[in-house]
């Protein structure tokens, strides 16, 4: 009786002759959930876009719409701080018109950032 591979004997295995090995486990494109590598949990981080830190001043960034590097244009709008200051002024007796002063001060308002090229709203800087 000759061996089809050569003169070497067949490798011993845990399965009797005529019985097949079970199929291998399915391959995952990434580690399966709850898997651990070197004792630490494996997590997947997906970065969608770099974070842009908006401020009260025009900010240099890449526009998400036209993909141009621009310096944003800013516009002021009444926000949470404006209304909170108006309420405080009313509580302290400035209800005859002085409570409207925060609506005239840009440092009390939220800042809206827009792209100067395509005029798309980029983000809002909130004081509160």
Exposure string for 81-111, b = 16+ CB within 10 A, e = fewer: bbeebbeebeeeeeeeeebeebeeeeebbbb
Domain extent at residue 106: 52-125
In a domain, 105, yes or no: yes
What is the model's pLDDT at position 95?
83
In a domain, 107, yes or no: yes
In a domain, 110, yes or no: yes
- How much is the mean pLDDT over the chain? 79
What is the model's pLDDT at position 17?
61
What is the model's pLDDT at position 1?
53
pLDDT at 44 over 60: no
Query: Each residue of 63-110: pLDDT tens digit?
Result: 989 999 999 999 999 999 999 999 999 999 988 889 999 999 999 999
Question: d(Cα 101, Cα 108) in Å, to the nearest integer?
Answer: 10
In a domain, 44, yes or no: no
Domains of the chain: total: 1
């Amino acid at each position: 009786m000759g061996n089809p591979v050569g003169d070497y004997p067949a490798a011993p295995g845990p399965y009797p002759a005529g019985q097949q090995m079970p199929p291998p486990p399915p391959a995952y494109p990434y580690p399966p959930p709850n898997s651990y590598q070197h004792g630490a949990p494996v997590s997947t981080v997906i970065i969608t876009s770099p974070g842009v830190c908006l401020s009260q001043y025009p900010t240099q960034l890449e526009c998400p719409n036209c993909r141009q590097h621009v310096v944003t244009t800013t516009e002021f709008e009444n926000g949470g701080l404006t209304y909170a200051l108006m309420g405080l002024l009313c509580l302290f007796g400035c209800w005859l018109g002085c409570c409207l002063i925060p609506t005239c001060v840009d440092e009390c308002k939220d800042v809206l950032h827009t792209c100067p090229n395509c005029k798309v709203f980029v983000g809002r800087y909130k004081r509160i």
